[in-house]
């Protein structure tokens, strides 16, 4: 049986016993376990049905030095530039929605990193996550608290819908304020930064701070891409039809009921432009009243979940107009992955 609690102490007790607990973070809910306890980590993979090739992010307490004191990461081959960039990023964006992939020490179990020589680290900003980390005293390995390949949870009820009966406890900390997962970057030994997953920290914030470009993961020669960034991910059970732009040709939805998930309310002109291809009924689900990317990111997974549970036959969304800035990268990325099944 899976229970929901608001008691941090209760969650800490279960974590200490070696069982996983779903915890709130500012991005999405995570399914947390002691990062040093391989049996607890194995339970996380099992509950999510996550393949063992997809590594977990290790979450650290706000005052932890484990990212640089030699306990979890081995920075011995880092150049001065690499160290300087790492320190600047940690200083500017932790706690927050940034995950940094660094060379690991033997102390980090291979199960956590799927055998990779690098570990992904993040300091979450959610005060409840930080209270849990402060009380347990160990780092928490935590993937998003959904079954593998499904929509990430941004409320405790979403976790229940995903993992009921598979985990003992969900710690409720309210809805997540960012709504999309952290931005994942890797720092190479020579200081080059590559972006492995767009997320809750806008990429411009990183480039503005460091004054350097971000390499796409595929071009980072000595780094494998994030194994978890599979093309098909965040999959709703209903097909999601993603249009490239508002002016894209309208597919034939004549006999269908459609749920429309857009960043801002759709205009009357655009709805009219479907002409004879229009569905029999529309359910409108704007993610923000004015297209605000922060609000849209916060609502994205809830919106997908709600439309998926509604009586529509097909979900429809439209990619934002380029150039993309801020959280639009992350929103577009999640929509693209969710739409692969159409």
| Interacting residues with ligand TXA (CB under 6 A) | 25, 27-28, 30, 54-57, 97, 99, 101, 113, 116, 118-120, 122, 124, 142-144, 181-182, 184, 196-197, 226-229
Choices 14-22, 90-98, 140-148, 201-209 (CB under 5 A): range interacting with Mg ion: 140-148
Say whether residue 144 binds Mg ion (CB under 5 A).
yes
Which residues, at least 6 apart from 249, have a Cβ–Cβ distance to it below 8 Å?
Answer: none
Compare residues 144 and 154 and give the one whose CB is closer to Mg ion: 144
Q: How far is the CB of 35 from ligand TXA (least distance, A)?
A: 11
Compare residues 171 and 312 and give the one whose CB is closer to ligand TXA: 171
Compare residues 314 and 332 and give the one whose CB is closer to Mg ion: 332
Q: How far is the CB of 23 from ligand TXA (least distance, A)?
A: 8
The 3-state DSSP class for residue 57 equals strand
Q: Give the CB-nearest residue to Mg ion.
A: 144
Q: How far is the CB of 28 from ligand TXA (least distance, A)?
A: 5
Listed as own residue / partner, the contacts of 320-326 with beta carbons closer than 8 Å and 24 or more positions apart are 320/263, 321/245, 321/246, 325/202, 325/204, 326/202, 326/204, 326/293, 326/294
Compare residues 29 and 94 and give the one whose CB is closer to Mg ion: 29
User: How big is the site for Mg ion, counted in residues (CB under 5 A)?
Assistant: 1
Q: How far is the CB of 152 from Mg ion (least distance, A)?
A: 5
Category of 280 on φ-ψ map: left (φ > 0), alpha (ψ -120 to 50) or beta: alpha
Which residues, at least 6 apart from 278, have a Cβ–Cβ distance to it below 8 Å?
Answer: 250, 253, 254, 271
Rounded CA gap, 207 and 303, in Å?
31
Report the side by side order of strands in the sheet with 57-59: 3-5, 169-171, 21-23, 30-34, 140-141, 57-59, 118-122, 98-103, 183-187, 193-197, 215-216
Choices 98-106, 141-149, 163-171, 268-276 (CB under 5 A): range interacting with Mg ion: 141-149
Q: How far is the CB of 282 from ligand TXA (least distance, A)?
A: 32
Compare residues 95 and 279 and give the one whose CB is closer to ligand TXA: 95
Rounded CA gap, 87 and 73, in Å?
13
Compare residues 179 and 259 and give the one whose CB is closer to ligand TXA: 179
Rounded CA gap, 165 and 150, in Å?
17
Partner whose footprint covers residue 227, from ligand TXA, Mg ion, none (CB < 5 to 8 Å by kind): ligand TXA
Residues 111-130 touching Mg ion, rule: CB under 5 A, are none
Q: Exposed, middle or buried: residue 62 (CB in 10 Å: 0-12, 13-18, 19+)?
A: middle
Compare residues 116 and 195 and give the one whose CB is closer to ligand TXA: 116
Partner whose footprint covers residue 339, from Mg ion, ligand TXA, none (CB < 5 to 8 Å by kind): none
Rounded CA gap, 145 and 57, in Å?
12
Q: How far is the CB of 200 from ligand TXA (least distance, A)?
A: 7
Q: How far is the CB of 149 from Mg ion (least distance, A)?
A: 9
- Measured from the Cβ of residue 241, the count of other Cβ atoms closer than 10 Å reads 18
Q: Which helix (H) or strand (E) holds 86?
A: helix 80-93
Partner whose footprint covers residue 288, from ligand TXA, Mg ion, none (CB < 5 to 8 Å by kind): none
Q: How far is the CB of 233 from Mg ion (least distance, A)?
A: 7
Compare residues 142 and 188 and give the one whose CB is closer to ligand TXA: 142
| Residues forming the site for Mg ion (CB under 5 A) | 144
């Amino acid at each position: 049986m899976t229970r929901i609690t608001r008691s941090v102490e209760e969650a800490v007790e279960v974590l200490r016993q070696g069982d996983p607990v779903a915890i709130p973070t500012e991005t999405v809910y995570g399914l947390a376990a002691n990062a040093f306890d391989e049996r607890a980590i194995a339970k996380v993979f099992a509950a999510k049905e996550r393949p063992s090739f997809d590594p977990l992010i290790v979450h650290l307490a706000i005052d932890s030095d484990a990212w640089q004191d030699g306990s979890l990461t081995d920075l011995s081959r880092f150049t001065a530039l690499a160290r300087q960039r790492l320190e600047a990023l940690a200083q500017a964006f932790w706690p927050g929605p940034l995950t940094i992939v660094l060379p690991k020490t033997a102390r980090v179990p291979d199960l956590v990193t799927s055998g990779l020589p690098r570990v992904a680290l993040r300091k979450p900003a959610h005060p409840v996550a930080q209270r849990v980390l402060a009380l347990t005293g160990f780092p928490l390995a935590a993937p998003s608290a959904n079954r593998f390949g499904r929509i990430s949870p941004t409320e405790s009820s979403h976790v229940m819908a995903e993992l009921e009966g598979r985990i003992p406890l969900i710690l409720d900390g309210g809805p997540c304020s960012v709504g999309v997962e952290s931005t994942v970057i890797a720092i190479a030994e020579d200081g080059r930064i590559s972006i492995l997953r767009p997320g809750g920290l806008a990429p411009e914030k990183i480039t503005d701070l460091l004054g350097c470009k971000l390499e796409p993961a595929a071009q980072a020669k000595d780094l494998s891409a994030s194994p978890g960034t599979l093309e098909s991910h965040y999959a709703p059970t209903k097909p999601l039809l993603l249009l490239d732009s508002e002016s894209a040709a309208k597919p034939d939805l004549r006999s269908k009921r459609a749920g429309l998930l857009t960043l801002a309310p759709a205009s009357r002109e655009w709805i009219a432009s479907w002409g004879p291809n229009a569905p029999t009924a529309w359910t409108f689900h704007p993610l923000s009243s004015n297209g605000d990317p922060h609000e849209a990111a916060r609502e994205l997974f809830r919106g997908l979940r709600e439309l998926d549970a509604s009586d529509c036959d097909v979900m429809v969304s439209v990619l934002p107009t380029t150039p993309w800035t801020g959280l639009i990268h992350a929103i577009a990325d999640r929509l693209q992955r969710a739409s692969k099944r159409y």
